[in-house]
Amino acid sequence: MQYRKKLIEVALPMEAINAASAREKSIRHGHPSTLHLWWSRKPLATCRAAFFASIVDDPSSRPEEFPTEKAQEAERKRLFGIIEIPPKFARMPPVNPDVHSMKELVDGAVG
């Protein structure tokens, strides 16, 4: 079985992740992290992005699906768009539809 590079090994939208993390740290009401203040609280946006990118294959590791650089960049851009979508904690139980696309990608990568 050939090793497939993961998205986290190739590229990440760091500016978007940093902005989401800074925004999340400034929320003082209505966010799960405000239930209890931890000494070294990690923003969920950063954890979510790192977890997702470490599971999903990078498009360059699937040349049969994305044969050209242009196709690989387009797929990478789509994956970055999924990472950059902030979860809407205040709107639960109506589940964010983007969570379903993220779940499908993770299910496909894991098995």
Q: 57 pairs with which residues across the strands?
A: 6
Q: What is the mean pLDDT of residues 52-58?
A: 92
CB–CB of 4/57 below 8 Å? Answer: yes
Taking the model in full, what pTM does it have? 0.69
**pLDDT, position 17:** 85
**Residue bearing the bigger pLDDT, 105 or 16:** 16
Q: Residue 55, by phi and psi: left (phi above 0), alpha (psi -120 to 50) or beta?
A: alpha
Q: What is the mean pLDDT of residues 101-109?
A: 75
**pLDDT, position 35:** 64
Confidence of residue 98 (pLDDT cuts 50, 70, 90): low
Look-up: residue for tokens 């851009």?
77
- Closest C-alpha to 12, from 58, 70, 44, 43: 58
* Cα–Cα dist 47/74, whole Å: 24
53, pLDDT greater than 50:
yes
